[in-house]
Each structure stands twice: as C-alpha cells, then as structure tokens.
Amino acid sequence: MDYIVFDLEWNQCPYGKEREVARLPFEIIEIGAVKLNSSLKQVSTYHTLINPKVYRTLHYRTREIVGLTTKDLKQGKPFETAVREFFSWAGPEAVFCTWGTTDLTELQRNLSFYGLLHLFRGPCQFLNVQKLFAIQYENTKSRRSLEYAVDFLKLEKDENFHRALADAEYTGRILSTIDPSVILSCDSIDTYQNPTSKENEIHAVYNGYSKYISRSFPTKEEAMADKEVRSTYCCVCGREAKKKLRWFSTGTRAYYCTAVCPVHGYIKGKIKTQHAMDGGIFVIKTIKVSYGEEAEAIQQKKEALRVKRRKARHKE
C-alpha cells in the first residue's frame, strides 16, 4: 500500500464571475505529489504543469500566489494526458492524502468536466492531513494552514509554498510525524460522488461517532422516509437506540434527533441532505455519543422552531 500525498494549483476566470464557466470555476494548472511507502518514507515524486483550455490567461491572484506565467503553462501537458499519467504513477492501491478537502473536490470537478470521472471511483476514503495534524497536536476542531503546521513542527522550509510539489512534500513530512493509531482511526470520506446503490452505501464507525452515507433518492422526502436513513444505532455497541426525539428539520438541509442506548446512554443524530450528481438527494448521517445537556439543547432547538412556526401562522 502506498500513500499518495498530492497538491493541486488552479486558475480561475480572469474576467470576473459573469464570464466564469459554471461547471469549472477552477481549472487545474499544476499537479504535485509524493509517494510514501507503508512506513511513511518518501520513495517517489510526480510533478507536471497543465496547459489550460478554459482559462488560458492567468488570474492576477493566481499569478501572485503561484508565481507561474501564461508562457510557463503553454509548456504543460493537456489535462487528460496529465491526469492519466498521475493515476498510473499513483497505482491502483493508492491511499490519497491531502491538506484539507478542497483538492479532492477540484480534482473530481475537473475530471467530470472532461468526461473522465470514471478514472476516480467515489466515495473516496482518504487522509485529510490537516485534520490529522489537529487531532495529533492541538484539538479536533482546529484547521491550520500548511505553513503554520510546518512552523509548529519546526520542519525545514527549503521550498516556497503554493507550488504543488513543494506543498505535497511538506504535507508528506507532516504526515510522517502522525501517530499510526491516529492515521488508522481517523480517515475521512469524500462525498463529491455518493454511493450508487444500497449495497455500496457506507457505514463507518470511528472513536465516539459513526457515519452513514446513503445512495441517491429522488427527493428529500423519500430519503427521510427510508428506514435505514431514519434508524438510530449506538455508535459504540451497535444496539438499536430508542428515540427520545424523532428526526426534525430546522428548515435547512439538516435534521436532528436524540435517542437512548440501553448500555451507553444518550446519543444524538444529525442528517445533512446533499444534491447527488444524478439530480437526486443523498444523506450523510452522523451518530455521536452525547450527554443529557446536549440532548436538552436539541430539545430546545425543536421547541424554538415550534414557537417560530406558530408565530408565522398567526401572522398569516
């Protein structure tokens, strides 16, 4: 198994939002990656520039941050050639690793634009090194910049930031400092592509919470009517937990509930609905161990919603 730590640089429309291509707001212009073996030792690198087809002129911010010119990019490869070469170099058993989540989104968006999304199967389980750094060294919610992490660990800053290969190498060095137990227990799931069938739905259990990612449903109402979507199983022991507060919506794409496991007590659930690529709706459900105070806060959230709706009806 190899860890492929990659970084992308991209360009955007230099003429403003009104002339932006909606399906491709950011066009990849550089891919940099390092390959780490199972011991997290660097064994290979990959780097290429890409000759853009959509935004051929560099946005002034891209020029400032990345330090490339339009002339540089003209020497690059077509995206289709570069990305096939990258995947071939990465190999079929690659575990992809990135700093944050944006690079995976933009990689798939570019693949989709060129009709090449079949080259990258999703949903993708990957390592978010930014999150792993937070868990290892600070707290689970902080999200620091790459340069902050390099300074925090006192790593040598021998390359300029904001170039794809340099940022990939820095990210790989940070990953090599993370405890293996954290790496094994704290992977992430990218949902740019959701499961295509019930058999492929994702049920993942982590330390203190579980995550379920569904197949696509025609509507939000049909998704929320599904038995598996509505279920509440304890994220620690897997027992069915009896609902104290049934799923309710706050008027956004989020639903909440509370339940009680006979062994581990309160759990809380959250469902987020998202648009699937096929035009339908899929859900991401998270179940977490909770406490009575948190359950009470959810109850208060529902009560506040009830009061708000009652007032709205009286105004009609």
Convert the pLDDT of each residue in 161-212 to its tens digit.
989 999 999 999 999 999 999 999 999 999 999 999 999 999 999 988 999 9
pLDDT of 295 over the 70 cut: no
Residue 64 CA to residue 74 CA, distance in Å, equals 18
pLDDT beyond 80 at 313:
no
Give me 220's structure tokens: 């939000």
Encoded tokens for 63: 């020029």
Model confidence at 91: pLDDT above 70: yes
Is 70 exceeded by the pLDDT of residue 314?
no
* Cα–chain center distance at 78: 26
User: Which whole number is the average pLDDT over 128-134?
Assistant: 97
**What is the pLDDT, as a whole number, of residue 315?**
62
CATH class of 2-185: alpha beta
Tell me what pLDDT residue 141 has.
Answer: 80
The owner of tokens 């008027």 is 251
pTM: 0.88
Which percentage of the chain shows pLDDT scores above 90?
A: 80
117, two tokens: 């999304």
H-helix or E-strand containing 271? strand 265-275
**Domain boundaries along the sequence of the chain:** 2-185, 202-315
Report the percentage of the chain scoring pLDDT > 70. 95
CA distance 313 to 316: 5
For β-strands 2-12 and 254-261, DSSP reports them as unpaired
Least confident of 43-47, 99-103, 261-265: 261-265
* Nearest by Cα to 30 from 52, 11, 48, 55: 48
pLDDT per residue over 224-274, tens digit each?
999 999 999 999 999 999 998 999 987 778 999 999 999 999 999 999 999
Residue 300 is predicted with a pLDDT of 74
Q: Provide the 3-class DSSP secondary structure of residue 69.
A: coil
Which residues, listed in sequence order, are joined to residue 178 by a DSSP beta bridge? none
